[in-house]
C-alpha cells in the first residue's frame, strides 16, 4: 500500500489535465461525516492517500498504516498545499493540528473509491470508456495486454492498467501496483477520458478487491483466467483466496463476465456469479477437458513455434484462426479469453474477425515468455511467472519447441508466500533437464535460506537431477548460458519485465532481459537489439550484489 512516505523514485500518480473543482462541504455531506473546521467555500481538485503525490488543492486521506497513522503526516500534507484532511476518529486529533478542515468518518479507506468516483466523475453513472477487467492467479497481465492489442488492431483508442505498465492512448507509464489505489485509479480513468480513450483493459488482483482499490467502478466485462496456488501469505487458504476474487462477478462490480473453465475454480465462479456469464475452455490444457470442450467458446491449438502459437477460436457467432505472438498453449487460452471478452463488450464479430482471422495478434507482452536471444545459440526466454502452475505450463511450452536441453533458472520472492516454495522446486525440476536456483527479490529474508528451500523441494522430487545453485543472478545467467548450446533453451522465470530487485527494502536497478543478452554476447552468441528500456548503461551493472555468495 502506498504510504505518506512513498519513495520519490516510484512513477508519479497521474491526474486529469483539467481537474474538477468539487465542494468540500458537499463531500462531507455525502459521507455523513463529522467536520472539524470551516469547509464553506473550500474547493478540492483531487484526492490522494500519499503526501509524496499530493498536489495543491487536493484532499489528503489519512488512514492507519502498519506502523503509523497517516494523520501523522497531516502537517506535511498542509505544507504541500492540501485543502483538507479526510480521516477516521483515531486520526482526527492529529489531523486537526494541521490547521486544515478535517472530515472525520469511519473507515476512510473503504469510502475512498466512492469519494474518488464523485471527485473525478468516474462512477457507474458517468460517461466513461468501456472497462474490461481480468482477474485470476495467472494470465491477468497477458490477457490485459492482448485485449489492448486486439482492440488496437480494430482501430479502437485504448488504455491499459496492468502489473507491468499503464497505457493512455499510446503513452506508456511504468506501473506501481498490479491495480492502483482507488484514488489513483479514478484519476487515471478521468485522464483517459480526457485523452479520448474508448476502451480500457484493467488487471484486477484479489488484493485489489480486498483492499478497496476498485471500489466505485463498474466494469462492462469481467474475465476470469484460473485459480492456482499463490498468495497464501495474504489469504488463509485457497478457499479464502477464491472468495476474495468472487466480488468482481457481482452486479455492483461488473455487468457481465467471461469465465475460463480450464481450472477447477472456473465452474464455481460460473455457479456463483451474479451477472450473465459466457464460458470459454481450452481442452488441451484444461483440468477437465470435457467441461472445457462444452464451453460456449473453445480454443484449439493448431501450431506451436518459437515465435508464437497459432490457434482457432470457435464460438456461437463463428470461428477465426490467428496467432498469439508468444509460445504456450496457455497463451492461446489467454488470447481466446481476450477475444471473447471483446465480443461480449459489444464489438461486432465481423469487425474482430476482419482484424485477426488468418493473421497475427499485434500485442507486446512485456516479460511474458519473452524471447531475448538471436537466431543462433540457445533460445533464452524471460518470464514473469512465479507460481508452480505458471512454471509447469511455461516449461511445457518451451519443451515443445526445443529440440535439445531445457534449462530452468529461477528464484523466489522473499517475504511472500513461502508455502509454495517446495512446489516451485518440484515443478521446476520435473519440467527441465537442468535446474539452476538463484535469487529473486530477497527483501528482508535470508536469500541462502530461500534457495535452500527451493532446492529441498526439487531434491525430494528428483534426487538424482542436475541441480545447480548460483548467487547472485548476474552470475547464475552466465553459468546457465555456459551449460547449454545451439538448439537448447533457457527459461528464466520470476523477473520478467521488472527493472529492479528488492534487497532489504532498496530497489536495485536490474534487468533480467539485459543480463541474459550480455551473457549470450559474452559467450559469443549473436543477440538482437533490445525492444525495451534498459534500466542502466552498458557495463554499469555490478557483477555481484549485497547478497552472500552461494554455498
Which helix (H) or strand (E) segment holds residue 476: the answer is: helix 473-482
**CATH code of the domain covering residue 73:** 3.40.1390.10
pLDDT score recorded for residue 176: 57
Report the distance separating Cα 448 and Cα 445, nearest Å: 9
Are residues 143 and 211 both part of a single domain?
Answer: yes
Could you tell me the residue range of the domain that residue 134 belongs to? 130-356
Would 351 be classed as within a structural domain? yes
If asked whether residues 73 and 222 sit together in one domain, one would say no
Q: What is the reported pLDDT for 1?
A: 39
pLDDT at 180: 80
pLDDT score recorded for residue 232 = 60
Query: What is the spatial distance between Cα 147 and Cα 21, in angstroms, rounded to a whole number?
Result: 33
> Looking at the structure, do residues 186 and 335 belong to the same domain, yes or no?
yes
| Per-residue pLDDT, 3 | 44
DSSP SS3 for 186: helix
- Residues listed for the chain: 551
Q: Do 195 and 284 lie in a common domain?
A: yes
Residue (of 86, 106, 102, 90) closest to 36 by Cα position: 102
> Grid coordinates standing for 100?
486544515
Residues 135 and 110 in one domain: no
pLDDT on residue 535: 46
Task: Name residues of the chain where pLDDT drops below 70.
Answer: 1-12, 175-179, 229-235, 531-551
pLDDT at residue 229, rounded to an integer = 62
Q: Is residue 529 part of a domain?
A: no
Q: Which residue from 75, 83, 102 is spatially nearest to 21, judged by alpha carbons?
A: 83
The verdict on 305 and 420 lying in the same domain is: no
Report residue 164 as a C-alpha cell.
507491468
Q: pTM for this one?
A: 0.82
Pairing status of strand 370-371 against strand 318-324? unpaired
Q: What is the CATH number of the domain that holds 513?
A: 3.90.190.20
Contact between 491 and 476 under an 8 Å Cβ cutoff? The reply is no
- 336 falls within a domain: yes
Strand 297-305 to 308-315 pairing: antiparallel
Q: How far is CA 68 from CA 5, 59, 64, 366, 528, in A?
A: 11, 19, 6, 36, 48
300 belongs to a structural domain: yes
Cell 486486439 sits on residue:
150
pLDDT for the residue numbered 545: 30
pLDDT of residue 495: 87
In SS3 terms, 274-315 reads as CCCEEEEECCCCCCCHHHHHCCCEEEEEEEEECCEEEEEEEE
Per-residue model confidence (pLDDT) at position 66: 83
Residues 149, 251 within the same domain: yes
- pLDDT reported for residue 11: 59
Same domain, 164 and 188: yes
Give pLDDT tens digits for 367-421: 888 899 999 999 999 998 888 988 998 999 999 999 999 999 999 999 888 999 9
Sheet with 297-305, side-by-side order of all strands: 171-174, 165-168, 158-161, 199-203, 130-135, 219-224, 254-260, 277-281, 297-305, 308-315, 318-324
Distances (CA, A) of 339 to 214, 221, 294, 512: 23, 12, 18, 31
CA distances from 294 to 257, 260, 322, 365 (A): 17, 12, 21, 29
- CATH number at 157 reads 3.40.1190.10
Percentage of residues of the chain with pLDDT beyond 70: 92
CA-nearest of 505, 530, 502, 442 to 515 is 530
Quick check: is 167 in a domain? yes
Number of domains in the chain: 3
Amino acid at each position: 500500500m502506498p504510504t505518506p512516505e512513498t519513495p520519490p523514485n516510484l512513477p508519479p500518480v497521474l491526474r486529469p489535465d483539467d481537474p474538477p473543482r468539487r465542494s468540500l462541504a458537499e463531500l462531507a455531506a455525502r459521507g455523513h461525516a463529522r467536520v472539524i473546521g470551516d469547509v464553506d467555500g473550500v474547493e478540492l481538485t483531487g484526492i490522494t492517500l500519499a503526501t509524496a503525490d499530493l498536489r495543491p488543492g487536493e484532499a489528503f486521506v489519512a488512514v492507519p498504516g502498519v506502523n503509523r497513522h497517516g494523520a501523522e503526516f497531516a502537517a506535511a500534507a498542509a505544507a504541500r498545499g492540501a485543502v483538507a484532511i479526510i480521516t477516521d476518529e483515531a486520526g482526527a486529533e492529529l489531523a486537526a493540528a494541521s490547521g486544515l478542515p478535517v472530515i472525520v468518518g469511519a473507515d476512510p479507506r473503504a469510502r475512498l473509491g466512492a469519494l474518488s468516483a464523485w471527485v473525478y466523475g468516474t462512477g457507474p453513472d458517468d460517461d466513461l470508456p468501456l472497462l474490461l477487467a481480468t482477474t485470476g492467479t495467472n494470465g491477468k497481465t497477458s490477457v490485459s495486454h492482448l485485449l489492448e492489442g486486439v482492440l488496437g488492431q480494430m482501430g479502437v483508442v485504448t488504455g491499459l492498467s496492468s502489473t507491468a505498465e499503464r497505457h493512455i492512448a499510446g503513452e506508456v507509464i511504468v506501473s506501481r501496483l498490479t491495480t492502483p489505489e482507488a484514488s489513483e485509479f479514478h484519476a487515471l480513468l478521468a485522464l483517459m477520458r480526457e485523452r479520448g480513450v474508448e476502451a480500457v483493459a484493467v488487471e484486477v488482483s484479489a488484493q485489489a478487491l480486498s483492499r478497496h482499490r476498485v471500489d466505485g467502478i463498474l466494469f462492462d466485462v469481467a474475465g476470469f483466467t484460473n485459480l492456482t496456488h499463490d498468495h497464501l501469505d495474504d489469504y488463509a487458504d485457497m478457499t479464502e483466496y477464491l472468495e476474495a476474487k468472487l466480488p468482481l462477478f457481482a452486479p455492483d462490480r461488473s455487468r457481465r463476465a467471461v469465465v475460463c473453465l480450464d481450472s477447477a475454480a472456473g465452474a464455481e465462479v460460473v455457479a456463483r456469479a451474479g451477472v450473465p456469464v459466457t464460458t470459454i475452455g481450452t481442452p488441451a490444457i484444461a483440468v477437465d477437458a470435457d467441461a472445457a470442450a462444452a464451453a460456449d467458446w473453445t480454443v484449439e491449438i493448431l501450431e506451436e513455434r518459437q515465435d508464437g502459437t497459432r490457434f482457432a477460436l470457435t464460438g456461437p457467432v463463428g470461428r477465426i484462426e490467428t496467432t498469439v505472438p508468444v509460445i504456450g498453449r496457455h497463451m492461446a487460452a489467454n488470447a481466446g479469453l481476450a477475444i471473447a471478452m471483446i465480443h461480449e463488450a459489444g464489438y461486432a464479430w465481423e469487425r474482430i474477425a476482419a482484424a485477426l482471422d488468418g493473421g497475427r495478434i499485434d500485442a507486446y507482452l512485456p516479460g511474458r515468455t519473452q524471447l531475448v536471444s538471436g537466431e543462433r545459440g540457445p533460445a533464452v526466454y524471460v518470464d514473469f511467472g512465479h507460481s508452480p502452475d505458471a512454471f509447469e505450463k511455461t516449461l511445457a511450452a518451451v519443451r515443445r519447441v526445443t529440440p535439445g536441453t531445457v534449462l530452468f533458472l529461477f528464484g523466489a520472492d522473499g517475504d511472500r508466500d513461502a508455502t509454495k516454495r517446495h512446489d516451485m522446486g518440484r515443478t521446476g525440476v520435473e519440467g527441465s533437464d537442468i535446474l539452476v536456483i538463484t535469487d529473486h527479490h530477497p527483501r528482508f529474508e535470508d536469500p541462502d535460506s530461500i534457495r535452500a528451500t527451493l532446492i529441498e523441494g526439487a531434491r525430494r522430487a528428483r534426487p538424482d537431477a542436475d541441480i545447480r545453485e548460483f548467487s547472485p543472478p548476474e552470475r547464475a545467467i552466465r553459468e546457465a548460458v555456459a551449460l547449454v548450446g545451439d538448439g537448447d533453451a533457457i527459461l528464466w522465470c520470476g523477473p520478467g519485465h521488472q527493472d529492479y530487485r528488492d534487497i532489504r527494502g532498496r530497489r536495485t536497478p536490474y534487468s533480467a532481459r539485459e543480463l541474459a543478452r550480455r551473457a549470450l554476447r559474452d559467450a559469443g552468441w549473436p543477440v538482437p537489439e533490445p525492444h525495451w528500456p534498459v534500466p542502466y548503461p552498458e557495463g554499469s551493472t555490478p557483477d555481484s550484489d549485497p547478497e552472500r555468495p552461494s554455498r
